[in-house]
Amino acid sequence: MDSKAQNRREAIRRHLHQGEERARELAKETVPSLITGGAGDDPAGVITYTVIGATTGFSQLWLLLLSTPMMAAANSMAARIALAANDGIAAVMERRYGRAVSLTVVLLLAIANVATIAADTAGVAAVLSMLTGLPWEPFVPLVLVLLALFLHTGYARIKRILTGLTAVLLAYLVSAFLARPDWGVVAANTLIPHVTWERGWVIAALGLLGTTISPYLLFWQAGEEVEELRQGVTIQPAREDVSVWLGMLYSNLIAFFIVVAAAATIHATGQEIQSVADAAQALAPLGQVGLAAFILGLLGAGLLALPVLAGSTAYAVAEVFAWPEGLGARVAQARGFYLVLVGSLVGGGVIALWPNFHPADALYYSQVLDGVLLPVLILVLLVLSNDPRIVGSARNPLWVNVMAVITILAALAADFVALL
């Protein structure tokens, strides 16, 4: 009897140990997706979601809900291509369609990225201005110096700290509940799709799609997966889908409550967002704690996202020209990669200091620009991730293809109306 009991205990212990090992492996595989998801709620994302809630109320919550599987599908395609080809998206495009096509896509990506870098840099500087009471412009060089120190120290160590800091943005969840919206109205707007073909509403929808499914995050996701593979981490596509979903749910959970909080506070009182400080009113129910959460959250999200933005540009350019790449590489080994990365950050900083540059407007409209470029990139990913010459038998599951097509059609419709 004792022998049988001991055997059962040993079996249970082995089972628990195997479960712990699987949990650790999944957690390790989820890190790139969590960083991608956390970077998605950068200052541009936070301001965009706030503007959406402030101007359209709860009316776009259904689109945010729909964008969650869209976002997961897009990142799943990017990761699938990287895992199958053991290379980044731009490199795969270059081999499949030639340099002219890949360079065109990378150029469009670089334009959108530098615009967002300028907006995010100004956004972080504006938050530092709120903290000190000084003008925001002198903080732009300081932000760039901080980023240089992070990259020199080792972004791999710092990014996990910054990802944790973005959790401060969960304060929007508390603020949303304290603002006491009509949760029946919130639920109806979340579950029942409806469209208003008024131009401002459609531009806001385009900004929502652009910030939720940001093109730069897709290139970053693929680059991160390749770096994980090169470090000896074995990732299966099915398990990758799980980790992608976790990262995207984390990102959109924060986004959902930003919209709800902004609708219940700023929209309900008829206020307008003309500056970054105005956007902090969505956390007004939390008083000074809300203001502190806004400042800390945007600082962490901005410092997390800026290297991701510049890094995704550097990955893409390096892949097209087959340069050595990776934030884990030494500068002497990957000069071209780091030149593009630093050039993107400095270029964005210069644009941020352009006369009459308005951080709040730049943060919002940079995401609208991402929305304009979205259907082209999703179409490219859809074709590549279903091409057996690239992914072999690991082609997209049906749900990914369906959500990719819906994303393309929704973005094209919004582009058409917004650009009329």
User: Could you read off the pLDDT of 271-310 as tens digits, one per residue?
Assistant: 889 899 999 999 999 999 999 999 988 888 888 888 888 9
Q: What is the pLDDT of residue 333?
A: 83
Per the CB < 8 A criterion, the answer to whether 354 and 50 are in contact is no
- Predicted TM-score (pTM) of the model is 0.85
In the predicted structure, residue 116 carries a pLDDT above the cut 70:
yes
Q: Check: CB of residue 72 under 8 Å from CB of residue 244.
A: yes
Q: Is the pLDDT of residue 340 over 90?
A: yes
pLDDT band at 250 (very low <50, low <70, confident <90, very high): confident
User: Which has the closest alpha carbon to 172: 73, 272, 264?
Assistant: 264
Banded model confidence at residue 39, pLDDT cuts 50, 70, 90: very low
Q: Is the pLDDT of residue 190 over 90?
A: yes
Domain 37-418 class in CATH? mainly alpha
For position 138, what pLDDT does the model report? 94
Long-range contacts of 332-340 (CB under 8 A, 24+ apart): 338/314, 340/310, 340/313, 340/314
Does residue 322 carry a pLDDT above 50? yes
Q: Which of 50-64, 130-144, 160-174, 263-277 has the lowest mean pLDDT?
A: 160-174
Residues with Cβ within 8 Å of residue 336, at least 6 apart in sequence: 317, 318, 321, 323, 324
Where are the chain's structural domains?
A: 37-418
Mean of the pLDDT values across residues 174-201? 93
pLDDT at site 83: 84
pLDDT average, residue stretch 210-223: 83
**3-state DSSP assignment of residue 358:** coil
Per-residue CA distances from 194 to 63, 122, 204, 354 (Å): 9, 34, 14, 39
